Amino acid sequence: MFNLACVDGFRYPGLDEVYVLDLIPLTQGPAAISSDQKLCLFNPLGLRPGPVKEFHTNHGNLTCAKAYDVNSAVVATAGEDGSISMWDLRQDGSRAEVARMTDNQAPVLSLACSSSGYSVVAGTELRQSQASILIWDVRSNPTPRHKYQEVHSDDICELNFHPSDPNILLSGSTDGLVNVYDTRITDEDEVIIQTFNHDASIHHAAFLNDTDVFAVSHDERFAVYSMAEDQEKGSALTNFGNMREILGCQYIANVSAKANGAGAVIGAGTHDQQMFELVHLSKGTTEWALDRANSVGLPGAHSSEIVRSFCFYDEAQMVFSVGEDGYIKAWKPGA
């Protein structure tokens, strides 16, 4: 394992304990959402002075965020009151919230954004026996252009668009299913083009490339599935099983696909060792495999607290992490 050194950091202030919930990598630098209901943008070259932009969201309780446009620093946030806000982080003060959308009273648990498809999608908590996927066209009025309300039987906790086709959407739910949709189809009986049954509550799921999809459950079971026509429908392309046993970790924070298509990075944490490990996932001729020999460690991590999210800026050779200790940290190769 090759270890990085923590070169910079910022701890969120306040009398109450603050959890940093997620990171959104933007061209200008990492943005973060936190349990004090804030959306913050940081200078990647200087975390210690604090955020360069800070906005207080108004969702009742902030639950999720996604980048709409990484280059223009436009971010969507959502929360417990069912609302979605669009933020232009280049703006200051009240001008930064450039749009607000809502169509339901159910808490929003997940978001997906596609600037090329002009789409923002929200996935809701199960309320009154219904969990919904709501799709807005940001060019039109605040009413969703599509609603899918019978595609999952439990909370919709993950949404992601296909890397090259803005019409193809993926969802994951605590009902154990990962669904892939063609959002040009309005009929709920026809909209699902593929379903993968992970047989465990989905924590994270997304596309690894144009055909392959990963799923990791809340009990850390991990598998890769394929939409390719020559693959048996619904079966796992590579089933890794329980990652706690395979990696010797206690939890998986997330899996981040590399932008150049060269595999993905799995973020695995171990509380009692105060360690967070970035393990490369690559595809061979037929199956996906872990490259433990070239994993990258963040020693000390976020002490014994959970690392909630990580992101990397390859050109700058920097990794950022956030955790339940209230810190955002920057990591680089040691001297």
Q: Other CB atoms closer than 10 Å to residue 317's CB: what's the count?
A: 11
- pLDDT of 111 strictly over 60: yes
What sign does the CA torsion over 154, 258, 327, 85 have? negative
* Distance separating the N- and C-terminal Cα atoms of the chain: 16
Question: What's the token pair of residue 274?
Answer: 């105060």
| 117-170 tens-digit pLDDT | 999 999 999 999 999 999 999 988 678 989 999 999 999 999 999 999 999 999
Q: What is 161-209 written as a DSSP string?
A: E-SS-TTEEEEEETTSEEEEEETT---TTTSEEEEEE-SS-EEEEEESS
- The CB density around residue 38, as the number of other CB atoms within 10 Å, is 18
Residue 287: band (very low, low, confident or very high) from pLDDT cuts 50, 70, 90: confident
Q: Which residues contact 230 (CB under 8 A, 6 or more apart)?
A: none
Return the pLDDT at 309.
98
Q: At 22, is the secondary structure helix, strand, or coil?
A: strand
SS3 244: helix
Of residues 211 and 261, more confidently modeled: 211
**Per the confidence metrics, is the pTM higher than 0.85?**
yes
Architecture of domain 17-250: 7 Propeller (2.130)
Q: What is the pLDDT of residues 7-60, one digit of tens each?
A: 999 999 987 899 999 999 999 999 999 999 999 999 999 999 999 999 999 999
Contact by Cβ (8 Å): 166, 116: yes
For residue 199, the tally of other CB atoms under 10 A from its CB is 11
Domain spans of the chain, in order of start: 17-250
* Structural element, H or E, at residue 287: none
Instruction: Check residues 258 and 319 and name the one with the higher pLDDT.
Output: 319
Would you mind telling me the total number of residues written for the chain in this entry?
335
pLDDT classification of 258: cutoffs 50, 70, 90: confident
pLDDT (0 to 100) of residue 1: 86
Query: In sequence order, which residues have a C-beta less than 8 Å from that of residue 202 and are 6 or more positions away?
Result: 157, 158, 172, 173, 174, 176, 177, 178, 215, 216, 217, 218
